[in-house]
Structure 1
Amino acid sequence: MFDRLFILRRAIVIIISDRECFNIRTAKKLEIFEDDWDKCEVLVKLLKSLQLATIILFYNQQITIYMVRPHIVSLIVKHLNINQTNCMFSTNLKNNVSKNLAKRFSMQGGSPEKIPLIVSQMTNVYPT
């Protein structure tokens, strides 16, 4: 649904600026600034990667922890990595989500270099 809001951005801006639909006072309350649209774009990208991980994990009916952790690590390493080009909002959001996922799945002790090694060892012990 949030993705749809971002797709309909132009229509939303046009309707909010139309005085037949909204008076000035209401339009000012509903106005979405460029910075807000940028944040929406960051959120949509992050939520899509989280949605993909959720779909993958729920696709199989017999999920066990050896399957969950590799997907979480992959999500943290590939999709939640912080780049120099990220805005402050994106950096903070990715950092918080990464920390919470690592804490939730007890992966705080592992460094980013060590985690893929642990995952590969787990995959060898418990093949899919």
Structure 2
Amino acid sequence: MSVLTGPYVSPILLLVLSNVFMTFAWYGHLKHGSKPLTVVVLVAWGIAFFEYCLAVPANRIGHQVYSAAELKTMQEVITLVVFAAFSVLWLGEKLTMNHAVGFAFIALGAWFIFRGPLGSWG
């Protein structure tokens, strides 16, 4: 089995691709604000279909080796990275120090999720 198709790496690659689709579905239309909202919703829904076709297998495959909390955390961190690149490259927006600080706090939260249990509540 190739490293790229194994349960450790393939969920990450699939989640990156799914987030690219979902980011375009949710935010791609902002560059074209004159389009009718009904058209935008239908196009976004069509794009989101492909996101689901990637995200669902990513989670199914990834759950062989990652917990649901780890998969969700991965997805959120990937979403931020993809969105940051998208907002700069597609929308032409600037990232500020506030964004960097906020992303750093989220990364710290992700570190705690993957670090292992500090204890349990249940």
Aligning the two structures, in what range does the TM-score lie when normalised by the shorter sequence? 0.3 to 0.5
Question: Which has more helix, going by share of residues?
Answer: 2
Larger Rg: 1
TM-score (norm 2): 0.36
TM-score (norm 1): 0.35
